[in-house]
Structure 1
């Protein structure tokens, strides 16, 4: 029996979230990066870059995947377990590698790059062992890290990307309303979270009938569980007076969007209302600062001063916002566009960024709990457009 190291298995119709012209434009941007650095071929291995340049969002399950881009070719490299699905969901060519022999993955990549070339790779994603295999199999004359350059490209959204992100923001709002309707004394966090997730997944299927559906999720926290932004859902039952944190995360073809809101069950005490209203005021102030020409660090320092004047800065827990696009809680983020003191990126039209101040007061303190509001804003020539519609603040979010 012939056991090839790799082969092509193409069947079915191709279905992608964007047009071929969109992917061609992204690849042209990558090839410009390659030309400037003198790179012959890029071997991209991260979920976010492979999805961005090809449309294919892989499920690793312990197997490596790649997108190999040369001056003429764009080829996804996928495992045999996936059959033709990667080809159907890829722009460009696709090669399937087999597991008849160890490292057939690298043999498939070599068939595209050839030996002795200048190879671009993602140093923030390639493990030490995979980098050693790259060096062994491809015998590059030189390697260049392209992670930062590709991130900078991804930070500037096309019109098609912004249109998809708008859909995501609208889907998140739908999840938020479903969660609000499910909040009542005695309901468990998991029950409320499922209501929001189900509503979003149904809406995504309605809007994108040809898409693949996966990864949409909700973090709904109550009481002490609100102290962290990424605390998982539990079976804790809601009680009257609880602080709540609503977090909706639709995933559409690898594109992440988010809605996050503070709520209370039935009533809110005076100390909690004071903290909540201060965080809402910081949220509104922060959104007013997001405009072209402002740096991430400058925006951060101004919000810091806002909180410091109210003796609340010590309760801030993380940066005030981040980029949106091909990213997720388990793969990829555009760290160059985060509202933190150590990020000096200057905001430009076409970027998409959140404003999400969060204050966490410890258990036992007046107003204890985690307070967070989150909107998504598209940077325009003169300012920003808020594409999140679900209301924030006490007037709408004391429920149940």
Structure 2
């Protein structure tokens, strides 16, 4: 039997998150950057860049995947276990590699790039092992780290992306209301989280009947479990007076959005209320600062000053916001657009960013727990547009 190293298996109709022109626009901008830097081919290996430039969100399960972009081709490289699904979900061509011989993946990549070329690669994603294999199989004349280039491109959203993100934010609100409705003393965190996740998945299926459904989730934390923003759900039962943290995360075609809110079960004590109200005030102040021309570092310093004046800065745990787009809790991040002291990126229209101040007060201190509010804002020509609708603050979120 003649067993090929790779082959093309194309069947069915292509179904993409965006119109073909959206991907063409992204690739045109990328190719201009490649030409300016003398890059013959980019070999993208991360989920976020493969999805951003092709529409295909791979499931690695220990296997390597790629998108190879030249001045004339864009080809996803996928494993045989996925059959023709990667082709149906890719803007351009697709090659399937076989596993009967080790490293057929790199032979498939080589068939598109050619040997001895200048190769663009993602230094923040490619492992040392795969980097060595790339050098061995492709024999590149030179390599260029394109991760910073692509990150900057992803930070500036198109009209189509903003429309999707806006819809995603509405789905997050749906999940938030479902979580709120499920809260009562004696209910477990896991039961509340499932209510929010189920509501969002049903809403996504209604709004996007042709999408692939995966990765939507909820982090719902109570009591001491609220001290970290990314603490997983547990079976802890809610108690009267508990501080709660609501976090809903719908994922639609690799696009991430979020809703995060502080709540209390039935009642809130005076010390907690004071800290909560201060965090809400910082949230509102921070949102007022998000406008074209403001730098991430300057916004951060102003919110730091706000908290320091109230003797609360010592309870701050991380930056005050981040970009949105093709990212997730296990892949991708546009680290150049985060509200931190060490980020000097200047906000521009078309960027999408959160405002999410968080204070963590240690156990044994009055008002202990984690307080966090989170809204998503589109930077406009004159300021920002808040696309999160679920209310924040004590008036709505003390659940009786």
What is the deviation of 1:251? 0.0
The reply on whether 1:352 has 2:352 as its aligned counterpart is: yes
Once residues 56 and 256 of structure 1 are traced to their aligned partners in structure 2, the CA distance between those partners, rounded to angstroms, is 15
Residue 264 of structure 2 aligns to a residue whose secondary structure is: strand
Q: CA deviation at 1:370?
A: 0.1
CA apart distance, 1:114: 0.5
Per the alignment, in what secondary structure is the counterpart of residue 25 of structure 1?
Answer: helix
Residues 215-364 of structure 1 mapped to structure 2, 5 A cutoff = 215-364=215-364
Question: TM-score, normalised to structure 2's length?
Answer: 1.00
Partner of 2:192: 192
Supply the distance in 2 between the matched residues of 1:7 and 1:63 (Cα, whole angstroms). Answer: 17
Q: Which residue of 1 aligns with 2:40?
A: 40
CA distance in structure 2 between the partners assigned to 1:275 and 1:3 by the alignment: 66
Distance 2:354 2:260 in 1: 10
Structure 1 residue 32, shift from structure 2 partner: 1.1
Query: For residues 331 and 344 of structure 1, what CA distance do their matches in structure 2 show?
Result: 23
**Gaps (5+ residues) in structure 2?**
none
The Cα offsets for residues 304-337 of structure 1, whole Å up to 9 and x where unpaired, read as 0000000000000000000000000000100000
* SS of corresponding position for 2:246: strand
Structure 1 residue 86 and structure 2 residue 86: aligned?
yes
Distance 2:202 2:229 in 1: 25
2:95 alignment counterpart: 95
Q: How far, CA to CA, are the matches of 2:161 and 2:60 in structure 1? A: 25
1:112-158 Cα deviation digits (max 9, x unpaired): 01100000000000001111111110001000000000000000000
Q: How big is the shift at 1:36?
A: 1.2
The equivalent of 1:163 in structure 2 is 163
Q: Following the alignment from structure 1 to structure 2, what is the Cα–Cα distance between the partners of residues 192 and 138?
A: 51
1:399 and 2:399 matched: yes
Alpha-carbon distance in 2 for matches of 1:29, 1:197: 36
For 1:79-158, list aligned pairs within 5 A.
79-158=79-158
Cα distance between partner residues in 1 of 2:33 and 2:326: 19
With structure 1 as the length reference, what TM-score do the two structures score?
1.00
Map Cα deviations across residues 338-371 of structure 1 (whole Å, 9 max, x no partner).
0000000000000000000000000010000000
**Which residue number in structure 2 is paired with residue 26 of structure 1?**
26
In 2, Cα distance between equivalents of 1:287 and 1:180: 24
Counterpart in the other structure of 1:214: 214
Partners of 1:169 and 1:332 in 2: how far apart? 19
Structure 2: distance between partners of 1:241 and 1:88:
51
- Matched residue SS, 1:204: helix
CA distance in structure 2 between the partners assigned to 1:348 and 1:2 by the alignment: 55
* Separation in structure 1 between the aligned mates of residue 56 and residue 4 of structure 2, nearest angstrom: 24
CA distance in 2, matches of 1:360, 1:312: 10
Aligned to 1:71: 71
Instruction: Give the CA deviation at 1:33.
Output: 1.2
Q: Indicate the residue corresponding to 1:204 in structure 2.
A: 204
| Aligned-partner SS, 1:294 | coil
Query: Hey, what's the Cα distance between the residues in 1 that align with 2:118 and 2:53?
Result: 20
Q: Matches of 1:32 and 1:186 in 2, distance apart?
A: 58
For the aligned residue pairs, the C-alpha RMSD in angstroms reads 0.4
Structure 1 unmatched ranges of 5 or more: none
**Whole-Å Cα distance in 2 between the matches of residues 48 and 196 of structure 1?**
25
For residues 254-295 of structure 1, the C-alpha deviation after alignment (integer angstroms, 9 at most, x for no partner) is: 000000000000000000000000000000000000000000
Distance 1:91 1:229 in 2: 36
CA distance in 1 between counterparts of 2:329 and 2:2 reads 41
Using the alignment, how far apart are the partners of 1:257 and 1:100 within structure 2? 40
SS of alignment partner, residue 174 of structure 1 = helix
- Which residue of the partner structure matches residue 9 of structure 1? 9
